[in-house]
Structure 1
Amino acid sequence: MRAFTDVFIKHPVLAIVINLIIVLVGVRALTQLPVQQFPDVESSSVIITTVYTGASAETVRGFLTTPIERVVSAISGVDYVESTSRAGISTVTVRLKLDHDSTKALAEVTARLQQVRSELPTEAEPPVVEVQRADRPYATFYLAFNSSERTVPQVTDWLSRTLQPQLSTLTGVQRVSFEGSQALAMRVWIDPVQLAERNLSPGDVQAALQRNNYLAAVGQTKGNLVQINLLANTDLRAAEEFQNLIVAERDGAIVRLSDVARVELGSEEAAMIAKYNDKQAVYLGVWPLPGSNEIEVASALRSEMDRIRPTLPKDVEMRLVWDGTMFMRDALKEISKTLAETVLIVAVVVFLFLGSVRTALVPLVAMPVSLVGAAIVMLAFGFSLNLLTILAIVLSVGLVVDDAIVVVENIERHVREGKNRIEAALLGARELRGPIVAMTITLATVYAPIAFQGGLTGSLFLEFAITLAAAVVVSGFVALTLSPVMSSRFVHPSGHEGKLTKTVNHAFEAVRRFYERVLDGALAMRAGIVAVAVLITLAVIPLYLFSRQELAPVEDQSHISLFFEASPDSTLAQSNRDHLKVVEKLRAFPETDFTWSLTANNFGFGGLVAKNWKERGRSTEEMFGEVYGAVSQVPGLRVFPRLDPPLPTPGQYDVELVIQSDQPLEQLLETAGAVVGAGYQSGKFLYVDSDLKIDLPEARVVLDRERIADLGLDLASVGRELGTLLGGAYVNRFNYFERSYKVIPQIGDADRATLEPLLDLKIKTPAGEMVPVSAFTRIESSVAPRTLNRFQQTNALRVFAGVAPGVTKEEGLTVLENAARAAGGNDIALDHAGESRQIRHEGAALTATLGFALVLIYLVLAAQFQSFRDPLIVLLGSVPLAISGALVFTFLDLTTINIYSQVGL
């Protein structure tokens, strides 16, 4: 009976050509594959930021956050919506489901915001919408620029005009952002005393700026033959022009802006201070395009820096302070090294067992053809070369040679029985056609369920599963086409065994005899063996339940990040001084390469970047406890360190538990305190805290409505006058070297350093009388929440924690969940954010995936054996025993049940 394998044996050139085509196309595909750390999982967030300068947190929540939340929650693909309202700014974060199209979501959010725009206060700035990676809300690369002569606003302006546009044009770059920058602005520092003496109000200054700094589009003349564009100098472009602006006329004298204010080309209010080590800097963040080859982007960026460096001004220094591809490069280098070692070991083992270089060439040639052939499938599916696809290739090395080994040994057996090599190849290939097809389908089916698991595991391991299955399928094809052809030429007809082959065969014969004795003993005591097997099977449940679980094991990425909180009334300058003490503590560690920091008014971020692994004796995990001990001693700050997550998951902390409730904030604060206290008592955390804190000093300006009416004023005019003096909002913009910048009127820092001088500020009544603010207001001091947080449009707080060394994040999350249920009872609802959300959502998927895999394998084996009973013997006799053997190591705490060990199971 002829088989399709006969065609290739009788036409060896055809077999060689087909496999060479696989190699050539595969090599070409390899060069086209992008290189990334992990598969390209789209985990995105849409961030809506709205600024309402001078507004309280309650006003921001009621008039900005709530209407925005309401409309954006209805878009498709939303996982959850969370928001933060603080004084002057609203931030609504729409977290999308994994692999949901962020471009579509951005379009939907933008359209929804247009519907609600009329409901937002006219004084608020338009909402700013941007898409960020939820798992990495920061750039892949950061460049730090500092100058010995220029101010931060000047460095910012120079970068925005020169390097930012240049870097944005690099291949693979999506955008270039600023951190720690300050934009130029025309500052109009109002002198309230001079203003009152001239019987002028803040509104007069604002109106004068609006009237006299106006960008006019005049138009053009249009004759029969020519037309001329018309320009009018209705706008102001320099501080001197603003100073000469006429505000009013009093008693025949012109009052200019310089008479009642100090005008200077300054900057907007500093929102954040960036530092590299202890030097203030401006950061440029470079964001690669999704799906781009980040290693190539890194090389292009470094080349561009080398080109730019000679052109920099002498006073400007440039450093690449963060390269997010460094760990990726090292990890890919290590796994590539592992791949080379695996190939070498497999080659040696194949040679030892086959005993002949000629015979060993058959499976050894099949190995690279199968691995390179898998690259064709990877490119066709849009995959990348990453840690998981390369891991799949590493694991497939041992699998892809199996079919070829079986083929060559079967053909060699027929040669030893006296058949010539062509006949042996024809007969041997025919005999193995069915088993090889069945083996290939079985092995491919084993890993297929991983691709259907869903969630983070399914998204990450989809490429792993398909790559591994592709390599196995290609190896089956090679075993039925190329391997018989090579065997028909390479198998030695003499059957001569070398010394090494005899030694190996002798050892295996001894093993075979030992196995026969063990098998005879087992068959003699079948009941006992079955009982032991049942006990081992039942042990799977406790072994699993009492094993430590986590999403993924910690990896040394040479980085420890920090989040810190200062006193709620701390200024930016004071927070910066306190943060410098943290930096000094971090720089004292011998493993530190450099430090970075971003400091805001009463909070900030920072980090320690460690030296190369070869230059230090400890891992970042070993350093972590000591780092926390050092930074926690800094007075005036609460510091929360964290190791970078090993997987692309969102979140800032090891554990993030969300508590939702309609309770009053004071009662919710008690619940949070009880959970935090229970967390510390458990001993499983380095730190535990919540984001609900009611300690922000607040002064409420209470207006006497009747007195205001008596003076002929109204609440709107009073609010506008006070906002002009204190708010710091911009009036309009001015042109400075072809760029637009804000014009900001405000009283100086000295006039608003304390509460008392504010009552002496004067406002003009419609009758022309100047009255002090104290005539119709009083100030009441109180405390308010630092932020007002919501989750899924419900008031919520977040309890976050950093687990102690040796404690998994799953254990820590369970402790906090139990404490929250005990403290809040039925008045609260629990949810999760960050990595904790993945832990809870991924855990239940393992059982379903394992069951799905067993069903698929059972069906494949049933089709192969043509029996529904025989596969049960195979599965029941192997799967429970194998799983229990693996779980012994997790039970003994030698490893954990995590995303990688789940794939192994």
Structure 2
Amino acid sequence: ELVLYISVWPLPGANEIAIGDRLYVMIDEINTTLPQGLSITDGFDGTLYMRDALREIFITLIETVVLVGLVVLVMMGSFRAALVPLITIPISLLGAVAAMTLMGFTLNLLTVLAIVLSVGLVVDDAIVVVENVSRYMREGMSRIEAALASSRQLLAPIISMTVTLAAVYLPIGLLSGLTGALFKEFAFTLAIAVLISGIVAVTLSPIMSAYASPEGGKEGKFTLRVNAVFASLQERYGRIVESSINYKAQILCMAVFLSLLTVPFYLLSLKELAPTEDESSITVIVESSPEASLDYTTEQMDDVVSTMLELGGAKFMWQVVNPTGAFGGVDFVPLSEREEGVQDMFWKAFGELSSVDGIKAFPVLGSALPTAGNFSVELVVMSSDPYEEMMSYANQMVAAANASQKFLFASTDLKLDLPQARFVLDRERIADLGLDLANVSRQLGTLLSGNFVNRYNQDGRAYRVIPMIASGQRDNPEALLDLQIRTPSGDLIPLRAIATLRTETAPRFLSKFAQKNAFRIYGEVIPGTTKEQGLSALEDAAAQILPAHYSIDYAGESRQIRLEGNTLEGVLVIALVFVFFVLAIQFNSFRDPLVVLLGSVPLALSGAMVFAFLDFTTINIYSQVGFITLVGLIAKNGILIVEFANHMQKLGHDKLKAIRLAAQTRLRPVLMTTGATVLGHFPLVLVSGAGAEARNSIGIILVAGMLVGTAFTLLVLPSIYMVLASDHSPKELENRALRTVEGEPTAQHT
């Protein structure tokens, strides 16, 4: 069917889903007024993917809340005690939503994802509080005494844990460019939810825990069983800690070795800007011959449409056709109603389209992030050389790309195949006939240019007069030589009497980049190959093929890969430095923060990185956000243990006994918070549907990193504490005070 394609583009900051809803209503209203045979229907709706993704995220949110609730209930052994951390969830989330509203944020894919992630984070502090209060009450304290004692003991570590986790997101929120635009709202939403949960933990949670926990150890049978299990675990773990100290040199060597594996794991992992999502559509880009007509290309597109509609689950195909090419796409039913994902059908589409004669049709999967490009990889080559000389290098680059086995297809926009006809005028003959060049050019322009020469009125309306020869004659340069030119004497002579025809080829497009002649090498990578791998293959080919005075740049998503792909890696380093100084202020020491970070972060990063190395995910901006979040989460475990060990030293215990008691006492809250985080984020690992790939990346990193990191933290941190931790014994504290007092007169004199 012949159609008129109307595009609707929302203004920046507008609610696209609301616009889509209103458009559907308006279309229905307009259709009732149109004559028979004329109707308006939607050919492409970009909000469908957004709607599906938001629906999937909200389903994941419900699953996360249920799983976190079950974890807390099982590990606390009491429904009343479990209510304390569970109440933190709605308070923190509602507070975060209120703050989002005040800051002008919207509920979008990333802010809702931040809310999902925060469910597994905001319960941590409350879990620590309720476990501590319950322990004090089992030891015989009253409700008020237990709440006060727990508040005094946990105030500093909760502040440290909350500020540490919120601080890792601060550098993300301050980024610029695409990454900053995408993750600013995400980072601030998570940070606000964590800060609110910390406030709840130091204000409401202690007294709520005191009244939720039974006095004097009068607990139910299930609670007693759970307590007995944890008591047994704590006793066994205490013996393991004491034994491990005897082998601290070996343990530290093992920890260093495993931590250093992060480097090869990272270097050998697949990297990309963002994982490709199943958006229930495949785009098709078509190239026709340079001299093709609109009728020819439209006719050839029928084969493309028939081929694409044979794919399973295809609903319809839309296309925009011009003489030398076309752009279109196939919309599919949702993934839940299809047997294959678009990544699997992509292979089939490429094979089928390769057999279409007359035109070249390339299937393309949509980018997961906003980009100006059309293809997976786009490399720009620049030089001051003429296009004719650049053509040979373009062909060599395309050949190298195809030989790399990274691309389904590769091509270039530099094509010297545009036929051009040039009339060479015989000046002497023109002069002999009494003509001049201006007169001849004016007559040819009237016949060929398509410009209007006058207007005439009819029935009150003005119409343009456009003289033009028949299209069949215009399309044949040889036929143009028979055009009649009028001489000053009034005679008509054929154009061939004063001109000859010269044919030549020229570039289809005169591409420029940075004010230089340029051409692009573009292509689509094979499934299983990342766009970064394809781009690296082109960069290697450019280094070998191009002369020294040629330079390269990037376009489309390739530009974002090189400009934004490693941004969050720098943010991770900044976050680590920021966390270190926050902990240094909290501990009033530069050594204790090293114990916390070295005893938890490197091994957690290594444990998470191995899953990227094994191709469970890739290194992309979403997994990098997972790594940054992991730093704050795993550091909380170290803070709990180190803070309590320092407290034990101040009570007079030696360093060995202090770390043993701290590790034993904090084992249960560490396991509980880890369990809540792991199971709370586990739905992200299993999720499918719209937007699943991005959530899978974050989920895999957090779940794997927390499991591996917690196990290594419990084993390695005590040994690091024995080697690096400051001496907090009463005698050492007294000596420090004396040194400070003795140094005062000198300082004043100076």
* TM-score of Structure 1 vs Structure 2, range by shorter chain: 0.7 to 0.9
CA contact (8 A) 1:587 1:594 kept: yes
Residue 751 in structure 1 maps to residue 473 in structure 2 = yes
Q: Which moved more, 1:885-894 or 1:837-846?
A: 837-846
CA contact (8 A) 1:663 1:827 kept: no
Which residue matches 1:166?
none
Alpha carbons of structure 1 residues 904 and 742: separation in structure 2 relative to 1, 3 Å:
farther
CA contact (8 A) 2:421 2:503 kept: yes
Deviations 1:123-159 (A, max 9, x none): xxxxxxxxxxxxxxxxxxxxxxxxxxxxxxxxxxxxx
For the residues of structure 1 that align with 2:246 and 2:530, how far apart are their CA atoms?
A: 46
Q: Which moved more, 1:822-831 or 1:686-695?
A: 822-831
Which residue matches 1:460?
182
Q: How far is the alpha carbon of 1:540 from its aligned partner? A: 1.6
Alpha carbons of structure 1 residues 655 and 520: separation in structure 2 relative to 1, 3 Å:
same
For the residues of structure 1 that align with 2:462 and 2:220, how far apart are their CA atoms?
A: 84
From 101, 107, 128, the equivalent of 1:379 is 101
Which residue matches 2:551?
829
Q: How far is the alpha carbon of 1:381 from its aligned partner? A: 2.5
Alpha carbons of structure 1 residues 733 and 292: separation in structure 2 relative to 1, 3 Å:
farther
CA contact (8 A) 1:671 1:820 kept: no
CA contact (8 A) 1:543 1:888 kept: yes
Q: Secondary structure at the match of 2:384?
A: coil
TM-score by length of 2: 0.80
For the residues of structure 1 that align with 2:483 and 2:220, how far apart are their CA atoms?
A: 104
Residue 360 in structure 1 maps to residue 91 in structure 2 = no
Which residue matches 2:510?
788
Alpha carbons of structure 1 residues 472 and 739: separation in structure 2 relative to 1, 3 Å:
farther
Q: How far is the alpha carbon of 1:742 from its aligned partner? A: 5.4
For the residues of structure 2 that align with 1:892 and 1:538, how far apart are their CA atoms?
A: 17
Which residue matches 1:543?
265
From 488, 513, 526, the equivalent of 2:235 is 513
Residue 902 in structure 1 maps to residue 624 in structure 2 = yes
CA contact (8 A) 1:355 1:497 kept: no
For the residues of structure 2 that align with 1:288 and 1:802, how far apart are their CA atoms?
A: 29
Alignment of 1:715-734 (within 5 A): 715-731=437-453
For the residues of structure 2 that align with 1:309 and 1:734, how far apart are their CA atoms?
A: 36
CA contact (8 A) 1:570 1:601 kept: yes
Alignment of 1:660-699 (within 5 A): 660-699=382-421
Alpha carbons of structure 1 residues 517 and 739: separation in structure 2 relative to 1, 3 Å:
farther
For the residues of structure 1 that align with 2:536 and 2:453, how far apart are their CA atoms?
A: 52
For the residues of structure 2 that align with 1:564 and 1:735, how far apart are their CA atoms?
A: 42
Q: Secondary structure at the match of 2:32?
A: helix
Alpha carbons of structure 1 residues 614 and 722: separation in structure 2 relative to 1, 3 Å:
same
Q: How far is the alpha carbon of 1:447 from its aligned partner? A: 1.7
For the residues of structure 1 that align with 2:605 and 2:451, how far apart are their CA atoms?
A: 65
One-letter code aligned to 1:884: S
Which residue matches 1:476?
198
Which residue matches 2:350?
628
Q: How far is the alpha carbon of 1:437 from its aligned partner? A: 2.1
From 529, 542, 552, the equivalent of 1:820 is 542
Q: How far is the alpha carbon of 1:644 from its aligned partner? A: 0.7
Q: How far is the alpha carbon of 1:853 from its aligned partner? A: 0.9
One-letter code aligned to 1:727: S
The structure in which a higher percent of residues are helix is 2
Which residue matches 2:280?
558
Which residue matches 1:611?
333
For the residues of structure 1 that align with 2:194 and 2:376, how far apart are their CA atoms?
A: 38
Q: Secondary structure at the match of 2:35?
A: coil
Residue 868 in structure 1 maps to residue 590 in structure 2 = yes
Deviations 1:329-369 (A, max 9, x none): 11111111111111111111122222322222222122111
For the residues of structure 1 that align with 2:462 and 2:302, how far apart are their CA atoms?
A: 34
CA contact (8 A) 1:377 1:470 kept: yes
Alignment of 1:69-148 (within 5 A): none
Alpha carbons of structure 1 residues 852 and 522: separation in structure 2 relative to 1, 3 Å:
same
Q: How far is the alpha carbon of 1:693 from its aligned partner? A: 0.6
Residue 291 in structure 1 maps to residue 13 in structure 2 = yes
CA contact (8 A) 2:5 2:320 kept: no
Q: Secondary structure at the match of 1:518?
A: helix
Q: Which moved more, 1:417-426 or 1:329-338?
A: 417-426
Deviations 1:433-462 (A, max 9, x none): 333222221110122222234332222111
From 840, 860, 881, the equivalent of 2:603 is 881
Which residue matches 1:649?
371
Over aligned residues, Cα RMSD in angstroms?
2.2
Which residue matches 1:486?
208
Consecutive unaligned residues of structure 2, counting only runs of 5 or more, are: 628-750
Alpha carbons of structure 1 residues 624 and 435: separation in structure 2 relative to 1, 3 Å:
same
Which residue matches 1:409?
131
Residue 348 in structure 1 maps to residue 70 in structure 2 = yes
Q: How many residues align?
A: 627
Which residue matches 1:498?
220
For the residues of structure 1 that align with 2:520 and 2:461, how far apart are their CA atoms?
A: 42
One-letter code aligned to 1:341: E
Q: How far is the alpha carbon of 1:824 from its aligned partner? A: 1.2
Alpha carbons of structure 1 residues 471 and 523: separation in structure 2 relative to 1, 3 Å:
same
One-letter code aligned to 1:304: M
CA contact (8 A) 1:352 1:500 kept: no
TM-score by length of 1: 0.67
Residue 575 in structure 1 maps to residue 268 in structure 2 = no
Q: How far is the alpha carbon of 1:573 from its aligned partner? A: 0.7
Q: Secondary structure at the match of 2:623?
A: helix
Which residue matches 1:599?
321
For the residues of structure 2 that align with 1:519 and 1:572, how far apart are their CA atoms?
A: 78
Deviations 1:654-687 (A, max 9, x none): 0000010122322211101111111111111110
For the residues of structure 2 that align with 1:319 and 1:303, how far apart are their CA atoms?
A: 12
Q: How far is the alpha carbon of 1:414 from its aligned partner? A: 4.1
Residue 311 in structure 1 maps to residue 21 in structure 2 = no
For the residues of structure 1 that align with 2:428 and 2:218, how far apart are their CA atoms?
A: 114
Alpha carbons of structure 1 residues 489 and 520: separation in structure 2 relative to 1, 3 Å:
closer
Deviations 1:481-519 (A, max 9, x none): 333443454443353222322332233234323433432
One-letter code aligned to 1:293: N
For the residues of structure 1 that align with 2:460 and 2:77, how far apart are their CA atoms?
A: 79
Alpha carbons of structure 1 residues 376 and 751: separation in structure 2 relative to 1, 3 Å:
same
Residue 532 in structure 1 maps to residue 254 in structure 2 = yes
Q: Which moved more, 1:499-508 or 1:666-675?
A: 499-508
Q: How far is the alpha carbon of 1:801 from its aligned partner? A: 0.7
For the residues of structure 2 that align with 1:753 and 1:420, how far apart are their CA atoms?
A: 98
Consecutive unaligned residues of structure 1, counting only runs of 5 or more, are: 1-278
Residue 803 in structure 1 maps to residue 525 in structure 2 = yes
Alpha carbons of structure 1 residues 717 and 489: separation in structure 2 relative to 1, 3 Å:
farther
Q: How far is the alpha carbon of 1:756 from its aligned partner? A: 3.0
Q: How far is the alpha carbon of 1:293 from its aligned partner? A: 1.4
Which residue matches 2:732?
none
Q: How far is the alpha carbon of 1:521 from its aligned partner? A: 3.5
Alpha carbons of structure 1 residues 737 and 459: separation in structure 2 relative to 1, 3 Å:
farther
The structure in which a higher percent of residues are strand is 1
Deviations 1:263-312 (A, max 9, x none): xxxxxxxxxxxxxxxx2211222222221111111111112222222222
Deviations 1:165-203 (A, max 9, x none): xxxxxxxxxxxxxxxxxxxxxxxxxxxxxxxxxxxxxxx
From 498, 501, 512, the equivalent of 1:776 is 498
CA contact (8 A) 2:173 2:183 kept: yes
Q: Which moved more, 1:511-520 or 1:676-685?
A: 511-520
CA contact (8 A) 1:567 1:602 kept: yes
CA contact (8 A) 1:440 1:473 kept: yes
For the residues of structure 1 that align with 2:392 and 2:510, how far apart are their CA atoms?
A: 16
For the residues of structure 1 that align with 2:462 and 2:70, how far apart are their CA atoms?
A: 69
Q: Which moved more, 1:651-660 or 1:696-705?
A: 696-705
For the residues of structure 2 that align with 1:364 and 1:621, how far apart are their CA atoms?
A: 40
